Each structure stands twice: as structure tokens, then as C-alpha cells.
Structure 1
Amino acid sequence: MTPEQNALITRSGPDTSLGKLLRRYWQPIALVEELEGARPAKAVRVLGQDMVLFRDEAGRLGLLDRDCPHRNADLAFGRLEGGGLRCLFHGWLFDVNGNCIETPGEPAGSKLCTRIHQRAYPVVEKSGMVFGYLGEGEAPAFPDLDCFIAPDSHVFAFKGYLDCNWLQALEVGIDPAHASFLHRFFEDEDAAGSYGRQFRAQSADSDMTMTQVLREYENPDISVEKTDIGLRLTSLRALNTGDTHVRVTNLLFPQAFVIPLSEMMTITQWHVPIDDVSCYWYAAFTGFAEPVNKEEMRRQRLQLYTLPDYKPRLGRHNDYGYDVVEQRSRTYTGMGEDINVHDQWAVESQGRIQDRTREHLGTTDKAIVAYRMMLMSQMRKSDQGETPLLVLDAAAAAGVTGPATVDGVAKAGEDIQVYWQRTDARRRAQAPWTAPVKASA
């Protein structure tokens, strides 16, 4: 990859091809829980833009540019009163639509406020997250993906900070081979205690945990195909019993992936640039049969992340908790058992913006190659005024469902596609809220 190509797919400012593309999609910008408490307002930085997100006294959400249009003071410190957000400098008041509704320091009868408007962005709550639309024109419709149509009781949302460019953070999630090494545990645990923990649950139709499969069978046969949401990745591992371990994951264009956490729970995870050298991941954990135990899921994650910034306790500053004794006997990395730390080390150690001119890709990187080609193709379409993938109207969005994502074991001789489709359908049959995946997905 040339330096120019690397810059093209990593730089997300408003005047870049990538930035213009990403602004055509809804972006997660905060967790709903971040607006709870005494003052429901916070500064947010997304795609290099500084904004303030707030909830007014009527419960409406607003997302405004952060600098007051009077003399550019910081609206993120504003007072929530009078039906909007009031600047501390001179008391100018703005509603959720960016309308200036008061300029109290001006002479009586002044019409100045009628000529003032702060840029406001569409914003919506969905699946425990707040999404903002930073683009021009009408915002696209949300597809009927599992994480969006599941009731609140069946979705838990969380996020975490990464000190690197968004793209390398995303690419680790579409790399099926790395889990056999980076997330290898030398000791197995009782799968009954695996709730909320990645790779510790049993694979479907098997008494083997995902960890055991990944450790003992480290050479997956990976295939990649285009779908109506992006890419489907199928990783097959031939077991010594003659059966086949099947793992189906998805790239959700432009910047998310969908993977199984367990037989009855999936993860949809976005990677959102704060700027070009840092990002947040936002994850929606979707339960199919039982409601998600949000208290336990949150407790587990707060062992690693600190509030209010959701920054990890481990990182460059303390060598990610690396322990040489642990690396010899317990984990492949020596960095504890939380796979988020493993991934964090992998992507942050590449530098704040990975220099892809120095990498040497192998056969197992075929999904990464396919995604980069898709990303550049969709940027060209967007630059030419065409509609890129998954920028949908309401009718089209209703036809995009699922996606199917599976980790299980097919019996010897069984058709692999029939197996994962049946396994996905079985899971959906146990869910009180879901509908079958459309054939196109």
C-alpha cells in the first residue's frame, strides 16, 4: 500500500474522502447512560469535530457545534435551562435545533436572536447509544438489524477508548486467524462461568469451548463473500473427530463488525474516529432468548475501564499489565484474560496511525484486503455523488436484517451453509422479539 492510499483510508476530517463517506452514516457518539445524572450534557468529539450533546428539560436530545456563535466560548459548559443550553459568557440561549431563542444582554426589543443559528445535527437514541448524523441532507434509515430491533431488555451497550486510528481498531475484528494466538488461554474454565466473556463459552453443538477450539486448531480455512451489509467471513477448522468448527462473522459497512459472543448472544461493534489518532469502540451486546444481565455486563467491563471517559486502566503507560510468568504458563500474551486488553495492545502497538506501507499480508488477511478495496470503492462512489452501500431509505432498510453470526460445530459430511443457517434459525426461534433473516442477508 502506498502512503497516499494509507492516508486516504485513515484520515476522516470533513474535507477528506473518508470523512465525507463516514458522514453519510449515523455514528455512535455517546452511551445513553452518559446523559444520566444531575447534568445531562457533555462535550463530544467525533470525526475531528467538536460538539456538545445535551438533553433539555423536556427530555429532547440536542447536538450542536461546541463554539457559541456569539464569540466562540465553549457551550459544553452551558447552563441547561429555559428550554435549551445557555452560554455562560453572555447568556445566549440555544434550543436543540440550534435556534437562538434569547440574547439577554441585548437592548429591549432586539431582533438579533432571529438572525442567529448554531449548527445542529440530527440525533437519536437507539440500543443504549446516542447516534448522531453529521452529514448533509436527509439522514439514512436504520436497517432492521438484530441490535436495532431487539427490545431494550435484550441489548446492553458499552464503549471503550483506543489510542490509535479507527481503521486498525476495526481490522482486528475482521481477522479470523489472530484469535488462535492473541486470545489463547492455556487453561480452560468451566463454560458455566463464561457469561459476558468472549471465547469462553461453548461452541454450539459441541462440548468444546471456543477457546479450546482456537488453541488446538490454529489454521482456519477462511472465505469472504460480499453481502447486502458488507462482508461475510466464514472460518472453518477441521477437527480430529471429522467434524468441522464453523465460525461466521460479518463486516457491517462502513465501520462495524458483528460476531458471536456465545450461542445466544452477539456483539455489534462500531469503531468511531474521535480524530485521526484516537477512537472509541461502541458495542451492542444482543441477547436472543433471555434478557441481558446488564448489571453483570457493566460490572465486568468497569473492571477494565474508568469513568467518565471510558479509558482503559491498562495501556502503554503500564505495559498493558504484561507479566512474564503469566505468559509462560497461563495466557499467550501475558496481559491478563480480558481480550479487550489483547486487542488494545495489538492495535495500539502498530502506532497511532499504522504505516501500511511496511506490512506484508498473508492468505489469512483476505478479509482485510477485501474490506480495504470495498472502502476505497465506496469512497469513489460517494465522491462521484453516487449512493454508497447501506445508505438506505426506509423501505430498503426494512429489508436488511440479521445478520447471521455463528460459532458451532457441524457434523462430518454436513453441508456447512445449511448448518450455519439452521443454527442461526434455531437461535432466532428461541427469541421472543426476532424475525427470520431475509434471504438476501
Structure 2
Amino acid sequence: MISAEKNDQMTRVGPGTPAGRLLRRYWQPVALAEELQGPRPLKPVKLMGQDFVLFRDEAGRFGLLDRDCPHRGADLAYGRLESGGLRCAFHGWLFDATGQCLETPAEPAGSKLCTRIRQGAYPVVEKSGVVFAYVGEGEPPAFPEFDCFVAPDSHTFAFKGLWECNWLQALEVGIDPAHASFLHRFFEDEDTSESYGKQFRGASADSKMAITQVLREYDCPEIRVAPAPYGMQLTTLRKLSEEQTHVRVTNLVFPQAFVIPMSSEMTISQWHVPVDDTHCYWYAIFTSFTGPVDKQQMREQRLATIELPDYTSRKNKRNQYGYSVEEQMAQTYTGMGMDINVHDQWACESMGPIQDRTREHLGTTDKGIVAYRRMLQEAIDSTLAGDTAPMVIDASQAGALTGPASIDGVAATAQADDYCREADLARRRASDWASARLAA
């Protein structure tokens, strides 16, 4: 249980708020690269309560500008992409990707007004199909050399979805290993050979046992939390017998991402990004260590549950998340279908737009959430004091931040403590792109 004041400090993200000041020190996902395809590569973006317009100019360069034109405040999201920039439809003022005003057409000949006008502009970079932006002060941090950023494009796939709740409660579901035994419980196991692209539906590594069976039958795990250079690592142990233990290793990447195993061949790196105080997007990069990702199949699977253009879930609070009494009795623990994203969305949105943490009572299995909140509060306090924060790194530090290892498998109980390191190393040695990096 925390105070209402601390809850506000950790959840509110507008300009000048404590958490908002902290999160602006990091690169934030703002769009999928595929959203900027087509004849008009432009979209409005709302990030941490601020309005921007994201575009790609004729030379392919990304730009992120404040959305209101500095002339008289008209909406640049309705502007025209032409003449090397974005032109306001009101009076024709033209801005390039750096925010420099290039033309003020209605001004008298010889006017130098445009040389004195600069629109708010922010650094933008594409990584593995996700467009990241930095909207804070000073120089942005370097990107760590995580698997999701260094794998070939052929071995990654990016997607996103919108949730109607605060970013923090959305993030915290990813660092809560105990919930999967209940929230994602299936009463029957699918053929694991048909599990491609489906989280929790395959078999654990080094085992033919379906992950769904492990979660269903072993619902009282031992959870270990350890600090890591990027944030923290969570190890969840489910003892299957005296001889075998199920090991699942996940990671919290500060400030608002986690890396988890999707299958024996693929990991998910996921960010929960505040749109405002009561809405957030999750952005996920799926990274394959074996063959190229079947992007078409992955996209089709997700478009079956997500509606464009806003990437909203087809099952949501307005249709009770597809809840079925009959399904809850016979097929799934929630009665809300087979997509675990819907399960997570219901859990997080049901807490309210911003969870009231003064009313919660945490248990032993919440140790990861407790550790993260302590880390978050310390980083907020450090930022308010003008000091550094975790993962605000430079290029020399970025090269040392690799992985992070994320594994789901069955180990000999006596070797469970070493399983993650050994299984991760074996997976990398068998991977064309990851083994090349090991050799380097």
C-alpha cells in the first residue's frame, strides 16, 4: 500500500509532473514504421499528454513536430507534405524535419520572418519496425545493444495495441509472474506444433510439456528478483518433480519495458507508453533466434484481435471483453477468449483509469512490483534533484548492455540455477545472427 501522493507521483505523466519529467529522459515509441507507409506518411501522435505530428518527408527523413503551427496555432496534422517538409494548410508556412521554418509565403518579398521561426522538433529514429522519439531536454541516451535492436530486420516483427488505463498498471502486469497461472489458464492444451505466434501456447524448451499445462498445474511458484544493469531480472521456478523444475526468466528494462520469452525460439520486448494519464499503448518487438519471422502470419494473427487505425482491441470494456459464462466454465479461466492480451487488458483496465494503490494489499509474489516501484520512486527523486537515473546511458555504456536473457524451459532441478545462462548461450550459438555477435 502506498500513499495517494506517491501514487500520483508515479502515474501522472504530463509536462512538469515528477514521472513525466523522468520518462522524458528516455526514447519513447511513438508509432509503428508501417503506419507511415502509403501516399501520405503522416500521423498525429499524443505522448505523455502532449500533441505532436509525425511525418516522413520526400527524402525519407522522419520528423516529429509540435502539432500546433507557431503562426496562429492551426493543426499541422492536416498539413501538406511538399517542398521538403510539412506545410500548414492555413497560411502555407513550411517546416522541415528539424522544425526550421523554410517559407512564409504571404509575407512581403524580402521578408526574413521565416529565418526567425522554429517549430518545436524532436529527434526520431526507427528501430526494428518501431519509431522512437525523444521529447526531453538535452541529448538523448544511447540505445542499448539488446537483441531486439541488433537482430536483422528479417528476424523481428513489431506491433502495438491501445489500452484504456494508466501506463504503470499496464507495465506492472508484465513483472507479475504469478498471475499467469490463473489469468491465462486454459483448461485444455492445444497442439504445440500449431503454436507459432501465440504466447504461452507452445511447449517449454527441453520439454514436450505445454506451457499452459505447467501454468495450470503448478500455480504456486517461487519468484526470485535480482538487480541487473538494465533494471532487474525475475526468475520464476515451478518444481515439477524432484528431478525437474520449470524455469521462466523475464526482465524489467527501466523505465517501462520488459523482455519475456514467447517460445523457445522467440522473445518479446514490450514497452508501455503513456498517451496521457489514462491511456497507453503497448509496443512489442518479437525477436527470432532461429529462422526469419513469418511477418504475414504474425500480422494476420494480431489483426484478428485488433482494429485499425487506432489499434484498439476488438474485445474491450464496451462489449465485456467477449465474456462468456459457458467458456469460463469449460475452456478458459476468464471466459474472455484465447488471446492473453485481452486477459491482461481486462485485468489492468478493471483497476480503473488510474489504479488507487492506497487500497491494495501486496503479497510475497508481488516482490517484483515492490522492487520496481522502489526503483521508480528513487529515479523520480533523483530526477527532481537534478541527478542521473538508471539507463540514461552513453554510447560507451550501450555496448555492454546486451540480451537480456529470457528463457522458458525445463531444467534438471539440481541445475535450475544455471539453466538460464546455459540455455541462452546454447540458443545464441545455434542462431546465425546471434552466434556472429558472440564471435565478435
* TM-score, with structure 1 as normaliser: 0.98
Which stretch of structure 1 is more off in the superposition, 380-389 or 149-158? 380-389
1:401 matched residue in structure 2: 402
Q: How many angstroms apart in 1 are the aligned matches of 2:69 and 2:298?
A: 38
1:433 matched residue in structure 2: 433
1:222 matched residue in structure 2: 223
- Pair 1:268 & 2:275 matched: no
Using the TM superposition, give the Cα deviation of residue 257 of structure 1 relative to its aligned residue in structure 2, in angstroms: 0.5
Counterpart of 1:10, as a letter, is T
- Pair 1:371 & 2:372 matched: yes
2:341 matched residue in structure 1: 340
1:111 matched residue in structure 2: 112
Judged with a 3 Å threshold, the aligned counterparts in structure 2 of structure 1 residues 400 and 76 are, in CA distance, closer, same or farther, namely: same
Counterpart of 2:173, as a letter, is V
Q: How many angstroms apart in 2 are the aligned matches of 1:419 and 1:208?
A: 17
2:184 matched residue in structure 1: 183
Counterpart of 1:43, as a letter, is P
Q: How many angstroms apart in 2 are the aligned matches of 1:354 and 1:105?
A: 51
1:235 matched residue in structure 2: 236
Confirm or deny: 8 A CA contact 2:166 2:277 kept in the other structure: yes
Q: How many angstroms apart in 1 are the aligned matches of 2:392 and 2:137?
A: 13
Matched ranges for 1:283-432 at <5 A: 283-414=284-415, 416-432=416-432
Using the TM superposition, give the Cα deviation of residue 196 of structure 1 relative to its aligned residue in structure 2, in angstroms: 0.5
Using the TM superposition, give the Cα deviation of residue 241 of structure 1 relative to its aligned residue in structure 2, in angstroms: 5.4
2:202 matched residue in structure 1: 201
Counterpart of 2:385, as a letter, is Q
2:193 matched residue in structure 1: 192
Confirm or deny: 8 A CA contact 1:10 1:165 kept in the other structure: yes
Counterpart of 2:231, as a letter, is G
For 1:146-186, what per-residue CA distance to the aligned partner results, in whole angstroms no more than 9, with x for missing partners?
Answer: 00000100110000000000000000000000000000000
Q: How many angstroms apart in 2 are the aligned matches of 1:431 and 1:362?
A: 39
User: How many matched pairs?
Assistant: 437
Q: How many angstroms apart in 2 are the aligned matches of 1:349 and 1:121?
A: 35
Q: How many angstroms apart in 1 are the aligned matches of 2:321 and 2:430?
A: 39
**SS state of the match for residue 361, structure 2?**
coil
Using the TM superposition, give the Cα deviation of residue 432 of structure 1 relative to its aligned residue in structure 2, in angstroms: 1.4
Which stretch of structure 1 is more off in the superposition, 13-22 or 380-389? 380-389
For 1:340-368, what per-residue CA distance to the aligned partner results, in whole angstroms no more than 9, with x for missing partners?
Answer: 11001000000000000011111100000
Q: CA RMSD in A?
A: 1.1
2:95 matched residue in structure 1: 94
1:143 matched residue in structure 2: 144
For 1:262-285, what per-residue CA distance to the aligned partner results, in whole angstroms no more than 9, with x for missing partners?
Answer: 001000000000000000000000
Q: How many angstroms apart in 1 are the aligned matches of 2:259 and 2:190?
A: 25
Confirm or deny: 8 A CA contact 2:239 2:413 kept in the other structure: no
- Pair 1:51 & 2:52 matched: yes
Counterpart of 2:64, as a letter, is L
For 1:21-52, what per-residue CA distance to the aligned partner results, in whole angstroms no more than 9, with x for missing partners?
Answer: 11110000000000001100000000111000
Confirm or deny: 8 A CA contact 1:402 1:437 kept in the other structure: no
Using the TM superposition, give the Cα deviation of residue 382 of structure 1 relative to its aligned residue in structure 2, in angstroms: 1.5
2:67 matched residue in structure 1: 66
Q: How many angstroms apart in 2 are the aligned matches of 1:56 and 1:79?
A: 10
Counterpart of 2:259, as a letter, is V
**SS state of the match for residue 107, structure 2?**
coil
Counterpart of 1:421, as a letter, is R
1:124 matched residue in structure 2: 125
Which stretch of structure 1 is more off in the superposition, 130-139 or 236-245? 236-245
Gap runs ≥5 in structure 2: none
Confirm or deny: 8 A CA contact 1:425 1:436 kept in the other structure: no
Using the TM superposition, give the Cα deviation of residue 437 of structure 1 relative to its aligned residue in structure 2, in angstroms: 9.3
**SS state of the match for residue 282, structure 1?**
strand
Counterpart of 1:220, as a letter, is P
Counterpart of 1:334, as a letter, is G
Q: How many angstroms apart in 1 are the aligned matches of 2:413 and 2:137?
A: 52
For 1:56-100, what per-residue CA distance to the aligned partner results, in whole angstroms no more than 9, with x for missing partners?
Answer: 011110000000000000001100001000000000000000000
Of all paired residues, the percent bearing the same amino acid is 65
Using the TM superposition, give the Cα deviation of residue 240 of structure 1 relative to its aligned residue in structure 2, in angstroms: 3.0
Counterpart of 1:119, as a letter, is G
* TM-score, with structure 2 as normaliser: 0.98
Counterpart of 2:167, as a letter, is W
Which stretch of structure 1 is more off in the superposition, 211-220 or 232-241? 232-241
Gap runs ≥5 in structure 1: none
Q: How many angstroms apart in 1 are the aligned matches of 2:123 and 2:322?
A: 41
1:23 matched residue in structure 2: 24
Counterpart of 1:252, as a letter, is V
Using the TM superposition, give the Cα deviation of residue 17 of structure 1 relative to its aligned residue in structure 2, in angstroms: 1.3
For 1:201-236, what per-residue CA distance to the aligned partner results, in whole angstroms no more than 9, with x for missing partners?
Answer: 110111101111000000000010100010100000
Q: How many angstroms apart in 1 are the aligned matches of 2:435 and 2:110?
A: 58
Q: How many angstroms apart in 1 are the aligned matches of 2:435 and 2:278?
A: 39
